[in-house]
Structure 1
Amino acid sequence: MGSLVRVLPALVAAISCFTALAIDIPDLRYLKAYTDYDPDGPYHEFLDYSPDLSVQGLDDFTIKRICLTGQWIMCSERYYSGFSINYGGVNHCYNLSSSYPISSLRYAGSPYGLDDVYYNLYEGENRTGNEFKGNTNVPTVANLDMKVSSFSISGQTPWTFFTGLQYAGEAVCVYPIYMTNGGIYLHLGGVLRITDLGLPDNSIRSVAKGCLTDNVYRGDRPHQGELGDQDGH
C-alpha cells in the first residue's frame, strides 16, 4: 500500500506535466502592423480578427508595413468588406502600398493551431464578407448556402466542395500547397473566385474532408484528374 501511495503522486505529477505541455504549445500565427517602413519602428501585434481597426487607431492608410506568420486578409472597409489583399507566409514582411486603405483584418485557418486542417468559406470574392468555417464534413454550409464566392483551406488535407446538399452535385477537390521557414510548416490553399474552379459563383452547398472526386485543383495546376482517398493520398 505504501508503494502505491508513492506511485500515485508521481503519476499525477506526470499527467499534470503532460497537460501543461499540451496547453502551452504556442499557436505561432501573428501579424505585426507597423505605422512606418522602419523595421525597428513601433507596431501593434494582432493574434485575432479585428473588424474595425479604428479601435486600435490603425484604420485607413495608417499601416505601412506588416510582418506575419499565417494567412491574413486585409480589407479596405470595416467588417471585412470592400476590396481585400491576402498575405501569407512564415515570418515574412511586406511593405504596403500608400494608395491602399486598410480598415479591418482577419486570418484564414484554424483558431486552434497554425497548420491544423480547416476551411473558411466567404460570401464575397477575394475572401471578403460573411464567413462559414470549420474542420469537419458539413452536408450544408448553412448561412452561406448558395452564397459562397471564395474560400481558403489550411493543413495537410485536401477538401472536396460540392454544388449539392449532402455531398451531391458537381464536385472539386482542392489541395493545399506548403511553405516553410525555420522548421515552421504552413499548408495553404483556396481560390479568390469560385469560378476559378470551373464552378458557377454561389454554387457551393456542402463540404467534405479528403479528395472524393477526380476533378482536382492544385492552385496553378487545376483539374489534374487524380482521384484520392479521404486523406488525399
Structure 2
Amino acid sequence: MQRSVALSLLFGLGLSLAQNEQIAYIYDLPNYDESGTFNWMDSYCADFRDCDHIIGDDMISSTCVYGVWLFYSEYYYNYQNFGAVEWGYGDDFCWNLNNLLNNEVSSLRYAGDTYNWRYDTITLYEFDLFFGFEVYEWADMPEVPGTIATVGSLIVTGQNYWTVYTEPFFNGNHACISVQTGQYVGFAPDLSGVFGISTVRSFRRGCFSDNKIHLNSDRHGFVVKARE
C-alpha cells in the first residue's frame, strides 16, 4: 500500500492530518521503501508480537512520523530499564533507524496529545531515557500517582512553561521547563542531569520559579542503555 493511498483512507475515515494527529508510518525496508511491508500506527504498541498483523516484532527499518514518536528495542517500552530507544518528531519527518535498532523494534508509542501534537502537555516517565510507565497530563497535577513511584525523564509539548516540583502539592525544589524558542517539543532524557532534581511529584502549567530551563528540542535522538 502506498502512503498516498493510506492518506486517502485516513481522510475517508474522517481523519485530518491538518489537525496534527499522531501517526507513524513504519517500513520493513530502509529509505521508506514501499516495495516491502508497510503499515501505519496511530496508537501505542506495547508488544509487536500482538498489536500489528502486518509489521511484526523486529521488523521496522525506517519510519515517517506526524507527531512525537518513540521506538523501543524491548517490549513494554523498555520497562526493565535497559535497551535502545530512538525518537523523532515533526510533520512527515522521515529517517532510517539507527543500526543498533534496525530490525530490533519491539514496542513504540507517542508523546503528547493524540489529536494535536503541538498542544501543551507534559509526559513523565518512570526511568531515564523515556523508559517504563508514563503519566500524561495537560493540566495541573498536585500529586503524581503512586503507580509511577519514580520519575527519571519527561517530554513536554507546546510552547508554554510547566513548573515541576520534587514534592506533592507544589512543594520542594522546583524549576520551570519549556521547549526551545520557536519549537513545540522538549526532551529531558535524564532529569537529574538537567534540573539537579531526582524526581517529579507534582507539576502545574505556567512558570512559578526563577529557575527557567529550555529543554533540548532536537528533532531526532537515539540512546542505548546496557543491562546492569
Report the TM-score range of the alignment, normalised by the length of the smaller protein: 0.7 to 0.9
Structure-2 residue corresponding to 1:183? none
- The question of 1:161 aligning with 2:164 is answered yes
Letter in 2 for 1:138: M
- The question of 1:92 aligning with 2:90 is answered no
- The question of 1:32 aligning with 2:35 is answered no
Unaligned runs of 5+ in 2: 1-14, 218-228
Matches within 5 A, 1:174-193: 174-177=177-180, 187-193=184-190
In structure 2, relative to structure 1, the CA distance for the partners of 1:178 and 1:92 (3 Å cut) is farther
Structure-2 residue corresponding to 1:170? 173
- The question of 1:118 aligning with 2:111 is answered no
Which of 45, 48, 73 in structure 2 is aligned with 1:50? 45
SS of corresponding position for 2:73: strand
TM-score by length of 2: 0.76
Residue 168 of structure 1, CA deviation: 0.8
Note the alpha carbon deviations across 1:38-89, whole angstroms, 9 max, x for none. 4341411011111111232535531111011211111111111143222222
Flag the structure with larger Rg.
1
In structure 2, relative to structure 1, the CA distance for the partners of 1:145 and 1:43 (3 Å cut) is closer
Structure having the larger proportion of residues in helix: 1
Which of 140, 144, 150 in structure 2 is aligned with 1:141? 144
Matches of 2:58 and 2:190, distance apart in 1: 26
- The question of 1:207 aligning with 2:203 is answered yes
Which structure has the higher relative contact order (CA within 8 Å, separation 6+)?
A: 2
Letter in 2 for 1:130: F
Letter in 1 for 2:177: V
- On the 8 A contact 2:32/2:63 being kept in 1, the answer is no
CA RMSD of aligned residues (A): 2.4
Residue 164 of structure 1, CA deviation: 1.4
Unaligned runs of 5+ in 1: 1-22, 180-185, 222-233
In structure 2, relative to structure 1, the CA distance for the partners of 1:178 and 1:113 (3 Å cut) is farther
Structure-1 residue corresponding to 2:131? 128
Give the share of equivalent positions with the same residue, in percent. 25
Letter in 1 for 2:63: I
Residue 145 of structure 1, CA deviation: 5.7
- On the 8 A contact 2:31/2:95 being kept in 1, the answer is no
Letter in 2 for 1:198: F
In structure 2, relative to structure 1, the CA distance for the partners of 1:85 and 1:38 (3 Å cut) is closer
Residue 126 of structure 1, CA deviation: 0.8
Matches of 2:98 and 2:70, distance apart in 1: 15
Matches of 2:181 and 2:21, distance apart in 1: 16
Structure-2 residue corresponding to 1:195? 192
TM-score by length of 1: 0.75
- On the 8 A contact 2:27/2:62 being kept in 1, the answer is yes
Structure-1 residue corresponding to 2:221? none
In structure 2, relative to structure 1, the CA distance for the partners of 1:142 and 1:30 (3 Å cut) is same
SS of corresponding position for 2:119: coil
In structure 2, relative to structure 1, the CA distance for the partners of 1:145 and 1:40 (3 Å cut) is closer
Structure-2 residue corresponding to 1:80? 77
Matches of 1:154 and 1:176, distance apart in 2: 7
Matches of 1:40 and 1:89, distance apart in 2: 20
Structure-2 residue corresponding to 1:10? none
